[in-house]
C-alpha cells in the first residue's frame, strides 16, 4: 500500500520536471499556472503537491542543496579550515547565482507562523556548514558570534542584489570576494 497513489507520484514528477525548466527560465516568480499548463495538469494539482511557492522552489532546488551539503562534508576534512569554509561559501554563491530560484528558496520568509520544520533547504545547508564554521572559529579564522545562518544570509543577499546584472554569477563572485576580503587592505 503506497503512501501515495501511483498517479499522484507521476504527476508530482511531471510537475517538478516542468517547474525546473520554468524556474530556470523565469526565475523564482515563474507562473504556477504556466507550469500546470505545460505539465498538462490542473492548477489545483500543482497546489496540491506544492502548497506554497516556496515548497516548489525548495523541491526544485533540492538536488543542488544536497550537492552543497555533500561538498561541505568533503571539505570538513580539509587541513585549511579557513580555506575550506571560504571554498564552500564560494560554491554556495556560484550555485545560487547560476541556478535561478535557489537564492529565493534559501531566503528566509518571515511570513510563517511556526518556523520549526520550515526552511528545510536552508536548515539543511546550515547543518552541513556548521562543522566548517566551527572549525574556522576554533582556528581563529572567524568571529565567535557568527553563525552559518549569517553567512548564508549574506550570500543570499549578494545573489539577490546581483540577480539583474548582465552576468550575475561573475558579479556575485566579485562581490563575494570583496566581502571576504573586508572593506580593504587595512582594517
Rg (CA), the chain: 18
Q: Which of residues 35-74 bind DNA (CB under 7 A)?
A: 40-45, 47-49, 52-53
Please report whether residue 165 would count as binding its own copies according to CB under 8 A: yes
Please report whether residue 81 would count as binding DNA according to CB under 7 A: no
Q: From CA 176, how far away is CA 182, in angstroms rounded? A: 10
Please report whether residue 2 would count as binding its own copies according to CB under 8 A: no
Instruction: Supply 139's cell numbers.
Output: 582556528
Please report whether residue 150 would count as binding its own copies according to CB under 8 A: yes
Q: Which of residues 90-129 bind its own copies (CB under 8 A)?
A: 107-111
Please report whether residue 143 would count as binding DNA according to CB under 7 A: no
Please report whether residue 77 would count as binding its own copies according to CB under 8 A: no
Q: From CA 55, how far away is CA 181, in angstroms rounded? A: 35
88 neighbors 71 (Cβ within 8 angstroms):
yes
Please report whether residue 31 would count as binding DNA according to CB under 7 A: yes
Q: From CA 85, how far away is CA 20, in angstroms rounded? A: 29
Select the binding partner of residue 41 from its own copies, DNA, none (C-beta < 5 to 8 A, by kind): DNA
Q: From CA 53, how far away is CA 98, in angstroms rounded? A: 20
Instruction: Supply 20's cell numbers.
Output: 525546473
Select the binding partner of residue 113 from DNA, its own copies, none (C-beta < 5 to 8 A, by kind): none
The footprint of DNA (CB under 7 A) covers 1-2, 4-8, 11-12, 29, 31-34, 40-45, 47-49, 52-53
Amino acid at each position: 500500500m503506497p503512501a501515495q497513489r501511483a498517479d499522484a507520484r507521476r504527476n508530482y514528477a511531471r510537475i517538478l520536471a516542468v517547474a525546473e525548466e520554468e524556474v530556470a527560465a523565469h526565475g523564482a516568480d515563474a507562473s504556477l499556472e504556466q507550469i500546470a499548463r505545460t505539465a498538462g495538469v490542473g492548477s489545483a494539482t500543482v497546489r496540491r503537491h506544492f502548497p506554497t511557492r516556496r515548497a516548489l522552489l525548495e523541491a526544485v532546488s533540492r538536488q543542488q542543496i544536497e550537492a552543497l551539503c555533500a561538498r561541505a562534508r568533503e571539505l570538513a576534512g580539509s587541513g585549511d579550515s579557513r580555506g575550506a569554509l571560504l571554498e564552500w561559501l564560494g560554491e554556495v554563491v556560484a550555485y545560487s547565482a547560476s541556478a535561478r530560484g535557489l537564492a529565493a528558496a534559501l531566503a528566509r520568509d518571515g511570513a510563517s507562523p511556526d518556523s520549526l520544520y520550515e526552511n528545510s533547504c536552508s536548515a539543511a545547508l546550515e547543518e552541513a556548514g556548521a562543522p566548517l564554521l566551527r572549525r574556522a572559529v576554533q582556528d581563529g579564522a572567524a568571529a565567535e558570534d557568527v553563525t552559518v545562518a549569517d553567512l548564508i544570509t549574506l550570500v543570499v543577499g549578494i545573489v539577490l542584489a546581483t540577480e539583474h546584472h548582465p552576468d550575475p554569477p561573475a558579479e556575485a563572485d566579485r562581490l563575494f570576494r570583496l566581502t571576504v576580503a573586508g572593506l580593504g587592505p587595512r582594517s
